[in-house]
């Protein structure tokens, strides 16, 4: 029974991997539909015990045990911001800044407005060794386009769909009961749909192609090319964040916030992307 389940899980996730640009852990509704209701309940109970156990270990300051269980939860069905947040806390307490920051970043994708999360992420970033000056000329724009940063990608999609639906509804009303003032309303709504649509498209693009990375190792050397024979350019420490520009089999090309570029070994880098393969590291 378990083997079949696993098999179906792998197939279904594989299918999702190929069919979707957004691969999400525990994305396997097809599995649940194939099994009986009792099976589903049983799994939920399992998840709950795992979660409670993990919380208990955390309270007892056995952080590595707690982290293991949170990882397990993420591996199974449950994937949401809270679990990633708790996982981040566990890694933080273990002193693994890089993993903590990565977990917080992933949690941020789910919970962009969570103040606890923000505070912890800020603190974790303070403790990192590398001071990277980032070009902050877009920060004002970020504040202004609050819907971009304060909404998760799914919330943005839903808001967009609502505006979109409203627009067409207004358009339909206008067909049958056309009034002058409706044109203005329709125009405003159209502008809203366009802005939200562009934001959504940009967010989806960033989400898919502009992937951030975090250093996991105590210290890694950034080189000028994808091999050990290349010149060492500079060093990064646990928790340093950067953008991933290009990915080879074992090497990753990165760019820091201040524009420095180089190659690092991919095994020391955590990718800030909701992806099944990530947790295997």
User: Which residues lie near other proteins (CB under 8 A)?
Assistant: 16, 19-22, 24, 26-27, 44, 47-48, 51-52, 55, 58, 77-83, 85-86, 89-90, 92-93, 109-110, 116, 119-120, 123-124, 152-154, 157, 161, 164-165, 167-169, 171-172, 175-176, 204, 274
3-state secondary structure of 203: helix
Cα→Cα distances 13→23, 74, 140, 281, Å = 8, 14, 39, 18
**CB of residue 262 to other proteins, shortest distance in Å:** 31
**DSSP assignments along 127-185, one per residue:** H-S-------TTHHHHHHSHHHHHS-HHHHHHHHHHHHHHHHHHHHHHHHS--HHHHHH
Strands 261-265 and 232-237: unpaired
- H or E segment and range at residue 194: helix 180-209
- The answer to whether the CB of 247 falls within 8 A of the CB of 193 is no
**CB of residue 134 to other proteins, shortest distance in Å:** 23
Q: Which is nearer to other proteins, 55 or 230 (CB)?
A: 55
Cα–Cα distance for residue pair 227/237, rounded to 1 Å: 19
Cα–Cα distance for residue pair 82/25, rounded to 1 Å: 14
Q: Which is nearer to other proteins, 121 or 264 (CB)?
A: 121
Q: Which is nearer to other proteins, 20 or 139 (CB)?
A: 20
**CB of residue 138 to other proteins, shortest distance in Å:** 24
**CB of residue 238 to other proteins, shortest distance in Å:** 16
Q: Which is nearer to other proteins, 26 or 213 (CB)?
A: 26
Q: Of the candidates 31, 143, 41, 26, which has an alpha carbon nearest to the alpha carbon of residue 78?
A: 26
Q: Which is nearer to other proteins, 112 or 262 (CB)?
A: 112
**CB of residue 127 to other proteins, shortest distance in Å:** 9
Beta strands in the chain (DSSP E): 212-215, 219-223, 232-237, 241-247, 251-255, 261-265, 269-271
**CB of residue 86 to other proteins, shortest distance in Å:** 4
Q: Which is nearer to other proteins, 87 or 256 (CB)?
A: 87
């Amino acid at each position: 029974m378990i083997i079949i389940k696993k098999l179906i899980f792998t197939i279904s996730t594989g299918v999702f991997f190929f069919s979707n640009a957004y691969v999400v852990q525990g994305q396997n509704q097809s599995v649940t539909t194939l099994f009986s209701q009792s099976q589903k309940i049983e799994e939920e109970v399992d998840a709950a015990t795992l979660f409670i156990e993990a919380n208990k270990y955390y309270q007892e300051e056995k952080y590595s045990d707690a982290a293991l269980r949170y990882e397990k939860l993420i591996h199974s069905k449950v994937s949401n911001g809270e679990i990633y947040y708790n996982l981040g806390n566990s890694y933080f307490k273990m002193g693994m800044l890089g993993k903590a920051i990565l977990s917080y970043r992933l949690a941020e994708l789910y919970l962009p407005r969570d103040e606890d999360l923000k505070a912890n992420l800020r603190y974790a970033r303070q403790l990192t060794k590398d001071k990277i000056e980032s070009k902050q000329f877009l920060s004002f724009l970020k504040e202004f386009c609050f819907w971009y940063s304060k909404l998760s990608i799914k919330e943005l999609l839903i808001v967009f769909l609502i505006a979109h639906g409203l627009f067409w509804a207004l358009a339909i009303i206008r067909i049958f009961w056309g009034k002058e003032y409706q044109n203005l309303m329709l125009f405003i709504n159209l502008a809203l749909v366009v802005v939200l649509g562009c934001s959504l498209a940009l967010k989806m693009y960033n989400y898919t192609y502009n992937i951030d990375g975090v250093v996991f190792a105590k210290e890694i050397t950034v080189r000028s090319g994808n091999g050990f024979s290349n010149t060492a350019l500079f060093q990064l420490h646990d928790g340093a964040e950067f953008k991933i520009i290009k990915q080879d089999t074992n090497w990753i090309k990165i760019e820091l916030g201040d524009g420095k570029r180089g190659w690092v070994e991919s095994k020391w880098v955590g990718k800030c992307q909701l992806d099944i393969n990530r947790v295997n590291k």
